Homo-oligomer: A and B are copies of this chain.
Amino acid sequence: MTDFTRTRAAFHLPEGVTYLDGNSLGPMPVAATARVADMMRDEWAEQLIRGWNSAGWYAQPRRVGDRIARLIGAGEGQVVMGDTLSIKVFQAVSAARALRPDRRVILSDSGNFPSDLYVAEGLAGAVDAELRVVRPEEVADAITDDLAVLMLTEVDYRTGRRHDMAALTARAHQAGALAVWDLAHSAGAVDVDLLGVDADFAVGCTYKYINGGPGAPAFIWTHPRHSDAAAPILQGWMGHAAPFAFDLDYRPAAGIERMRVGTPPVIAMTALDAALDVWDGVELADLRARSIELSEAFITGVQENCPDLVLNSPRHPAQRGSQVSFLHPQGYAVMQALIAEGVIGDFRAPDVLRFGFAPLYNDVSDIERAVDTLARILRDGSWDDPRFHQRAKVT
């Protein structure tokens, strides 16, 4: 059994705050500051350039990738860290498309995170492909024989709706296409099983449920059947078979290493590495069970106590990730009022109140406080105050 009392204690949670926005940015692991300071003092300052070998910086993206692998049902040596999620989406989709050179359609849905769509749009314009976007519920039927790549985010960033990765991947394969999955709202939140569902490529970020810090490095996974054939457009020296031979021509490294691009962000990756320590001993089945428990308690509580809110997530837990959203026409002001009371959720335009449940540090006391505060604010109308209508938020 996973000890969630231990994991909760591993985070710094500010006094008086109930944090239900770990799906935007996870809180800081208590150990992270010392770990980063030690790395800076003992490695950067003392070892200088030698740190690439002596402190293991060069191997870090792969070593940390192995720690992520366990959380997404991937094998050792199959995941590598670096860049941002948008860059990794570009790599995965461009590599997948190149494996289906006679096809030009990239299919996605309108529930995908917009940056994924922007990246695919930019790629499609450059390589004469076509980005086709349908509604999430139309995806299965839109998988046709002209498809090169199916590019989806498993869990919808607004509704929390969870795609059926196994079924959609199988359908894509039947149509001769490859499946690229974005795990931004899945990794560290639900029981992802990449090898089990037989996906082709996957990418994700680590600053949400994995708690790596603002702008923490992204990850990319390639199924072993593709990893020596994948040819992403972005060819950087760290993905070269012999980066320090300084050949003039590019020769991709074997396996997932070719998905590296430039010099890896060592300081940021060290904070992430500290965050991954908290995951030691956490079982994905326990994580999922606790996520469902918290989400269900929240939905039930809100539906019983907040008649003005409309559920914007699937009601059945099997169809959800680890977040829930509700609609309110004045959602922005309601969320600002809630935050002013110490309960931090998120707002997504135009009317979405979004709440993430991170099993590692959220517990039932958070759910109770959130429901009680939300109910009170809506009941007494205190959200309808000029200061809560002022828009300054950028995230």
Contact = CB atoms under 8 A, between A and B. Distances in A.
Given A236-B118, A236-B119, A14 B110 contact: no
Given A40-B36, A84-B261, A267-B214, A123 B24 contact: no
Contacts of A44: 25, 27-28, 213-214
7 contacts: A84-B262, A84-B263, A117-B249, A119-B235, A121-B250, A122-B235, A213-B266
A292 B274 CA distance: 43
A315 interface: no
Interface of A: 12, 14, 17, 19, 21, 24-25, 27-28, 32-33, 36-37, 40-41, 44-46, 48-53, 57-58, 82-87, 90, 94, 110, 113-115, 117-119, 121-123, 125-127, 133, 205, 207, 213-218, 232-238, 240, 243-250, 261-269, 271, 339, 344, 346, 348-349, 392-395
Given A53-B392, A84-B262, A122-B232, 11 more contacts: A25-B52, A33-B41, A36-B37, A40-B213, A114-B246, A115-B237, A115-B238, A118-B237, A119-B236, A127-B127, A267-B271
A253 to B, nearest CB: 12
Contacts of A246: 114, 348-349
A36 B121 CA distance: 36
A214 B57 contact: yes
Contacts of A126: 94, 126-127, 233
Contacts of A49: 21, 24-25, 344, 346, 395
A86 B262 contact: yes
Contact of A58 (B46, B117, B395): B395
A121 B235 contact: yes
| Copies in the assembly, this chain | 2
Nearest to A25: B49
Most chain-B Cβ atoms within 10 A of its Cβ — which of A21, A46, A118, A268?
A118
A234 B126 CA distance: 10
A85 B263 contact: yes
Contacts of A113: 237
Contact of A262 (B53, B87, B234, B344): B87
Contact of A265 (B24, B215, B349): B215
Contact of A52 (B17, B27, B266, B395): B395
A246 B121 CA distance: 15
Contact of A114 (B14, B115, B118, B248): B248
Given A53-B393, A263-B207, A250 B37 contact: no
A88 to B, nearest CB: 9
B37 A267 contact: no
Nearest to A55: B214
Nearest to A57: B214
Nearest to A269: B215
Given A48-B21, A262-B87, A265-B265, A248 B115 contact: no
A24 B48 CA distance: 9
A2 to B, nearest CB: 24
A40 B33 contact: yes
Given A87-B234, A122-B233, A214 B52 contact: yes
